[in-house]
Amino acid sequence: MDQNRDGFIDKEDLKDTYASLGKINVKDDELDAMLKEATGPINFTMFLNLFGEKLNGTDTEETILNAFRMLDSDAKGTIHKDYIKLLLMSQTDKMTAEEIDQLFQFASIDAAGNLDYKALSYIITHGEEKEE
């Protein structure tokens, strides 16, 4: 994210990060406003807080569920974690094994290795597990 490797996130770094996530028409005014929200220079920790607020709600829970459903041919509501891992490590924006392990920390995975993607979709969009 810190393209010039100076330890701080600036306007161009923000623009590049949004572009890598598929949002290419970010207005300079929006980026300037985001930079002004910071209480000082934006280091990585402050960046995560600010950027997370901007991405909140980017994809709805239903959109994320529909993406998972495309992989669930039996309509069980689960997908084996090894299959998800294979896809995430081999397609377009490849994730590392460490990133996937971090994702799995938030996922509900049964003893057979099946990931409950409905619960994960909820966590992705709401930030915490739904109370039963």
Query: Topology of 61-126 in CATH?
Result: Recoverin; domain 1 (1.10.238)
Q: Which two tokens stand for residue 62?
A: 């239903």
Q: What is the pLDDT of residue 72?
A: 93
Q: What is the pLDDT of residue 91?
A: 83
Q: What is the pLDDT of residue 15?
A: 86
115 pairs with which residues across the strands? 79, 109
Mean pLDDT of the chain: 82
Tell me the C-alpha distance between 14 and 34, whole Å.
9
Q: What is the pLDDT of residue 77?
A: 95
Q: What is the pLDDT of residue 58?
A: 59
Which 3-state string (H, E, C) describes 94-108? CCCHHHHHHHHHCCC
Q: Where are the domains of the chain?
A: 8-55, 61-126
Interstrand relation of 78-80 and 114-116 (parallel, antiparallel or unpaired): antiparallel
Q: Which residue positions in the chain have pLDDT lower than 50?
A: none
